[in-house]
Amino acid sequence: MERTLIIIKPDAVQRGLIGQIITRFEQRGLRVIGMKLIHVTRELAEKHYAVHKERPFFAKLVDYITSSPVIVMALEGPEAIKAARTTIGSTKPFEAAAGTIRGDFALTVDYNLVHGSDSPENGVIEVANFFTDAELLPGWERSTDKWIS
Ligand code: DAT
Ligand code: MG
């Protein structure tokens, strides 16, 4: 069982795409174990994107993710990391396959709508950065689980 942090970024919230994006993950079979609307602080943004600190686009990335509210979700499932990332599509939306979130709704890397963790280790770390234990319901029983995994 893996865990991934999904962020429905400011552009997606502003464009009214929250529902359609959640639907993609939900119909894939990933289980929501935490979800909330927050305004990311600069401190949290810098922690979340710390691996990109030296990249030229770091400041822009922090400005973008803190510019407006986001939805953060913790999802759980077998192979949740790869499943979520294939549903999201390539980092550069103009290269993303049709049928992915970025391939269907986005054009440029500056406004690519969604974040998904890139490894099982980072999934655990990132979920813990955004959620307290009390905000998570890991492993709750879903009546459809036996038909999904
Ligand atoms: P992903 O969001 O697909 O995991 P990433 O972790 O490599 O991509 O980068 C994090 C974010 O940084 C990405 O969603 C958009 C931005 N970014 C990445 N590469 C970029 C680039 N070459 N120019 C501008 N922004 C970039
Ligand atoms: Mg990444």
Here the tokens at position 103 are: 């391939």
Which one-letter amino acid corresponds to residue 8? I
Question: Do the domain assignments include residue 63?
Answer: no
CB 87 within 8 A of CB 28: yes
Q: Whose CA is nearest to atom 17 of ligand 1?
A: 109
Question: Do the domain assignments include residue 83?
Answer: yes
Amino acid 49: pLDDT: 97
Question: Do the domain assignments include residue 99?
Answer: yes
What's the half-sphere exposure (Cβ side, CA atoms, 13 Å) at 131?
Answer: 27
Name the DSSP letter for residue 43.
H
- CATH of residue 119: 3.30.70.141
Q: Whose CA is nearest to atom 24 of ligand 1?
A: 57
What is the count of structural domains for the chain? Answer: 1
- Among 130, 119, 112, 136, which residue's Cα sits nearest to residue 44? 130
Report d(CA 135, CA 94) in Å as an integer. Answer: 35
Question: Do the domain assignments include residue 145?
Answer: no
Cα–ligand 1 centroid distance for 91 (angstroms): 6
Question: Do the domain assignments include residue 86?
Answer: yes
Question: Do the domain assignments include residue 48?
Answer: no
Report d(CA 145, CA 78) in Å as an integer. Answer: 11
Question: Do the domain assignments include residue 95?
Answer: yes
Q: Cβ < 6 Å from ligand 1: which residues? A: 52, 57, 61, 91, 109, 112, 115, 118
Give the active site residues: 115
Domain that holds residue 126: 2-40+70-139
List the pLDDT tens digit at each of the 149 positions of the chain: 999 999 999 999 999 999 999 999 999 999 999 999 999 999 999 999 999 999 999 999 999 999 999 999 999 999 999 999 999 999 999 999 999 999 999 999 999 999 999 999 999 999 999 999 999 999 899 999 999 98
Q: Could you tell me the sign of the dihedral formed by the alpha carbons of 137, 81, 50, 89, in that order? A: negative
Here the tokens at position 117 are: 């963790």
Question: Do the domain assignments include residue 133?
Answer: yes
